[in-house]
Structure 1
Amino acid sequence: MALVNDRFSKWATGFSGCDGGDIGSPHSKSIWYCGIEWGGGHPDDEHELINKVLSNDVEFPSEGYTSDDSPPGWLYNLAYRFNWQAMKLLTAVSGDSITSYKVFAEKVKPFTKGEKGYFKMNLYPLAFVNTSHDLWKNGFAKATGLDTKKDYHDWIKANRFPIMKTWMDTYSPKLIICVGKSYLPEFSLAFFGEELTFESEIIDDRELSWAVNKNGTIMVVLPFLGNRNGLNKNVSIQKFGDRIRELLTTL
């Protein structure tokens, strides 16, 4: 059995992997937006990982993007493709046309410190350029104590997912938007504590899945936004957002 680094264990079972924002409460419910893992990539040097990543205090949820970020504050939502595609979807969920997503980003400022209603996170806390297991280099193994990315995923499932379930129970989001269809079982296990049976429907040749837990939280799982095999057409993003809004008002 692997001897997991204590610093990694503490970091990975906190609010690591979360861009943050307003996590909400049972009396002021937020919409959570969850990806698989951060993009870009953390350094694969053991010492950099330990001293610059795993040393961060993630005991409490981040309040979101700030003026110290680059680019600052809400502009971060328009700086990267994944973020601006998220803004399009959230604009549609709010009831507007995605053509006004830049106005929505500036006015509503999702995931930004001091603003309300939205919280951004990931299933897995470490950052990689893509989800390939080949990117698990020796530095990651040494810093975490886990030899492979599969070992890392298994450890996260056993140790982080139950913590994420407590977040869901404590903060009671009204909606969790999960991006990445192939990870549907993992999203269900992380937030609902079990693999629920999801309803599914096809919209513009892409699949939308959804389920509701006993506390009324709706989870929707949709294809990754932006890549060629995912949800990449504006008209389709609009339809998905409209349908999610419909689910919010009818379930």
Structure 2
Amino acid sequence: MSHPLIAALEKHGPLTDEEKDVLRQISSRVVSFAPKSEIASEGTLQSESKLLIEGFAIRHVHLEDGDRHISALHIPGDFVDLISFLLKKMDHGVAALTPCKVALVAHSDLLEVTRRYPFLTRAFWLLTLVDAATTRQWLTGLGRKSARQRLAHFLCEMHCRMEAIGMARDESFELPVTQEELGDAQGLTTVHVNRTLQELRADGLIRSSGRTIVISDLQALREEAEFDPAYLHLHQQLER
């Protein structure tokens, strides 16, 4: 089985055997997290960044009144808190949605990588830039798009990302997210999420069975969402 980080980075340019060995070494310490448990807690100081190997996780912020906003959904191959390498203190939390396996990558190891491997440094930088670009898309949706467009956009984005790591097939993919969690991510009530998903189903755009989403008409769903996958930079090549 391919290492998820190596697979993710090699989409942006081939890695040398030495670079692959280094990535395996720095991500060899793997721990498990149960669903709903905190992988990195808001307000804590971090000495390592976490690489999601298996499972799904969310980035979230809790408000004083107990409400929660979800600002990202992480899938295998994602660094869930690479920014903590430089920022140290978490200004948000990361929690497991499903059972997760997470590699703990020491910041001291990341520092050594940035000193010795310029290509890997640029590749890690690209990961943070794509993460920021994705956040901008979510913010644009929250500010300017209808509930229907936001949910359609989210499904298109997840299909692209899951397809890129080989976890989508025949326009179907697993999405272990509740309607409440979708609402927390898209600024909607659970009732509004349910009604909007029913509309997308009734219009023949999606189907669902348990955790599995099937996009029945990908082109129509993308048009509904005004979705352009360019911001994901899935095929961006880096120079040596």
Please, what TM-score do these two structures have when normalized by structure 1? Answer: 0.28
Higher strand share: 2
Q: Which has the higher contact order (CA 8 A, sep 6+)?
A: 1
Please, what TM-score do these two structures have when normalized by structure 2? Answer: 0.29
